[in-house]
């Protein structure tokens, strides 16, 4: 595997967003990577990027102090991005089909390509649009589209008396239907205008349903 292939694989496995909401066009974009040091061990199938690492691939941006990518005998890769001190490992990527971004951060972010699983360890936060969840551990299973968030490390609950809690902000989804407009009433003795043809129903709208307009029947 040449250097370009390694970088492309790295961007793919560390996108951390899963196929459910990642921007599909990013897969065709070039990889731009900056680091203070890069080392590659083809025998151990290991690549290490160190020192203010920044990876950009389309709308995907990953920032970390260190990124390590390993590969097993079956060709599946595992990526680990870590921060340094107060600086967390972070990623940001546009969601497919909407003008929203998914953002995540933690002291350590791990992605297992074999199991399609991404884990966020310590001071973890994931935000999608206006929804946000925080905890000491966040796990996302892209294969089953399931989340697990815990108040303690490595999937455990925080000790009794601890101030650590899972915190989430979930915005309400607007499901209100627009009622059809009521035709204006004419003055007594006036002749009603000929009914106008019904306007075509527009394509699917997000977060709302549109009813067909009601025709006015001449009196």
Q: What is the CATH number of the domain that holds 16?
A: 2.60.450.10
Residue 33 has pLDDT above 50, yes or no: yes
Compute the average pLDDT of residues 19-31. Answer: 71
At residue 17 the predicted structure's pLDDT band, cuts being 50, 70 and 90, is very low
Q: Is residue 10 part of a domain?
A: yes
Q: Is residue 86 part of a domain?
A: yes
Residue 194 lies in a domain: no
Q: Which residues pair with 126 in a beta bridge?
A: 104, 133
Q: Which domain does 65 fall in, by range? A: 3-169
- At residue 148, the pLDDT reads 92
**Environment class of residue 22 by beta-carbon count within 10 Å: exposed (0-12), middle (13-18) or buried (19+)?**
buried
Residue 212's pLDDT band (boundaries 50, 70, 90)?
Answer: very low
The verdict on residue 174 lying in a domain is no
DSSP result, 116-168: TEEEEEEEEEEEETTEEEEEEEEEEETTTTEEEEESSGGGPPPPTT-----EE
Structurally, the chain folds into a number of domains equal to 1
For residue 210, give Cα distances in angstroms to 98, 138, 175. 19, 37, 11
pLDDT over 80 at 99, yes or no: yes
pTM for the whole structure = 0.67
pLDDT of residue 214: 45
Distance CA 33, CA 50 (A): 11
In a domain, 45, yes or no: yes
Closest among 128, 108, 131 to 120, alpha carbons compared? 108
Q: pLDDT by residue (tens digit) across 125-163?
A: 999 888 899 999 999 887 887 889 999 998 899 988 888
Name the residue among 96, 73, 153, 163 with its Cα closest to residue 121: 153
Domain presence at residue 189? no
User: pLDDT tens digits, residue range 42-75?
Assistant: 998 899 999 999 988 888 888 999 999 888 888 8
Whether 193 maps to a domain, the answer reads no
Higher per-residue pLDDT: 132 or 96: 132
**Banded model confidence at residue 191, pLDDT cuts 50, 70, 90:** low
């Amino acid at each position: 595997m040449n250097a370009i292939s390694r970088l492309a694989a790295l961007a793919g496995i560390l996108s951390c967003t899963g196929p459910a909401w990642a921007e599909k066009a990013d897969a065709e974009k070039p990889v731009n990577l900056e680091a203070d040091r890069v080392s590659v061990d083809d025998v151990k199938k290991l690549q290490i990027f160190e020192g203010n690492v920044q990876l950009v691939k389309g709308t995907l941006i990953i920032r970390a102090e260190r990124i390590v990518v390993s590969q097993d005998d079956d060709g599946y890769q595992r990526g680990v991005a870590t921060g340094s001190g107060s600086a967390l490992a972070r990623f940001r990527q546009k969601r497919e089909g909407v003008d929203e971004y998914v953002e995540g951060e933690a002291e350590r972010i791990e992605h297992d390509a074999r199991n399609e699983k991404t884990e966020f360890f310590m001071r973890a936060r994931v935000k999608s649009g206006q929804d946000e969840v925080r905890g000491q551990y966040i796990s996302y299973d892209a294969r089953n589209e399931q989340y697990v968030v815990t108040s303690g490390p490595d999937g455990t609950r925080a000790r009794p008396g601890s101030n650590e809690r899972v915190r989430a902000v979930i915005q309400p989804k607007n499901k209100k239907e627009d009622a059809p407009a009521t035709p204006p009433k004419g003055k007594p003795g006036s002749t009603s205008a000929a009914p106008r043809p019904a306007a075509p129903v527009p394509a699917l709208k997000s977060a709302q349903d549109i009813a067909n307009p009601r025709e006015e029947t001449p009196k």
